[in-house]
Amino acid sequence: MNVPGKTTNETFEVARAHCIAAEASGSLGKPFAEPWFDPSLWRFDEGGVLYGTLPRGLSPEGYHDIVHGGAIAALLDAAMTHCLFGRGVMGLTAEMQVRYRRPLSVGRETQVRASLETSVGNQVYRLVATVSADGEVKAEARGTFFRPPGGPVPGKVHSASV
């Protein structure tokens, strides 16, 4: 998937350059920049569902050996945002609901999935995402995103890989 007129890497780099999650470090542990925004770890299927695998999992720790819920929420938000990128939409998060089902262990290989549920015109988008490890869903989210005025108008541009 690509934003019209840009390669996938250019699309990710433009978004990454202004994203707090891509710059976060310090008290949350190592920077979120890698592997969160490494395009080689994300792919789209033919239906436009985004999949990603973080081989080393996440490291920001809340309780001993358990990933902090804020880091999980940020990953879910990033996955839904990247799913929109694949449709040529640079959307902003308007609302997100997260449900934590099971603790996610630090450093455990983590799978991420995000898909578009519905859209209202070219302005409002509703997405869902999950974070899984060890064969079970650890957290899930529903998000509403909007394309700000003057933002790129989406086109159906998804392909099988990033």
Percent residues over pLDDT 70 in the chain: 69
- Give the Cα separation of 79 and 108 in Å (integer): 18
94 three-state secondary structure:
strand
Dihedral of CA atoms 28, 71, 51, 111 in degrees, nearest 10, equals 90
Q: Give residue-wise pLDDT tens across range 127-153.
A: 999 999 999 999 999 999 999 887 655
pTM of the model: 0.76
Residue 103 in this model has a pLDDT that exceeds 90: yes
Q: Give residue-wise pLDDT tens across range 84-93.
A: 988 888 899 9
The model's confidence at residue 15, banded by pLDDT at 50, 70 and 90, is low
Alpha helices in 18-85 (DSSP H): 20-23, 33-36, 69-85
Residue 130: name the closest of 143, 121, 119 by CA. Answer: 143
Domains in the chain (CATH in brackets) are 8-146 (3.10.129.10)
- Give the Cα separation of 77 and 154 in Å (integer): 19
- Buried b / exposed e across 26-45, counting CB within 10 Å, b at 16+? eebbeebeebbbebebbbbe
